[in-house]
Amino acid sequence: MASHDDVDRLIAAWQFERPELNVEPFHILSRVTRLARHLDIARREAFAAHDLETGEFDVLASLRRSGTPYNLSPSQLVNLLLVTSGTMTNRIDRLEAKGMVERLPDPNDGRGVIVRLTNAGKVAVDQAVTDLLDRERVLLDSVSAENQKVIADLLRQIVLPLDDANMPSDE
């Protein structure tokens, strides 16, 4: 028999107080919410260990994943990370002050700039992602590799139509 968690107690309380409610979504989505909180803590700790905030890591990781020469335009970063241009400017400013990125003239647009990952930024993001993956593995230690694949496939079934519905149109 499975152990009871906080979500089981939450569901029992709602069923007692409001027995007419169908609380089935809570079985999955309240656990996803709790897991997201644990993941957020692990992410913040992993990034803080490398003098990064979550948003800064996202910029560095986007640049790192872009491949050599590890550069993107600010508008490409805005589109990838779904943030405002003002937010992106602030992130780039902070990372530039830390020596993790540099702004260079865009060779294809005389008025534009590109943001390039520096060696210090590459080292920081590589270390941070390794630390993050170590912490994420700990979060999943109680689940077999086979069940992790099943969970990933099931979550994809939930997330994919939501992502597709929220994609901006080209109109």
- CATH number at 60 reads 1.10.10.10
Average the pLDDT over 83-100 and give the result.
97
pTM recorded for the entire structure: 0.83
Q: Tell me what percent of the residues of the chain surpass a pLDDT of 70.
A: 96
In whole angstroms, give the CA distance from residue 166 to residue 171. 14
Show the domain range for 14: 6-49+124-164
Q: Where are the beta strands (DSSP E) in 57-140?
A: 71-72, 101-106, 109-117
> Do 109 and 67 reside in the same domain of the chain?
yes
> Do 93 and 80 reside in the same domain of the chain?
yes
> Do 96 and 61 reside in the same domain of the chain?
yes
> Do 116 and 130 reside in the same domain of the chain?
no
Q: Into how many domains does the chain fold?
A: 2
Residue 171 lies in a domain: no
Residue 170 lies in a domain: no
Is residue 20 within 8 A of residue 44, CB to CB? The reply is no
Q: Tens of pLDDT along 95-123?
A: 999 999 999 999 888 789 999 999 999 99
Q: Tens of pLDDT along 142-168?
A: 999 999 999 999 999 999 998 888 765
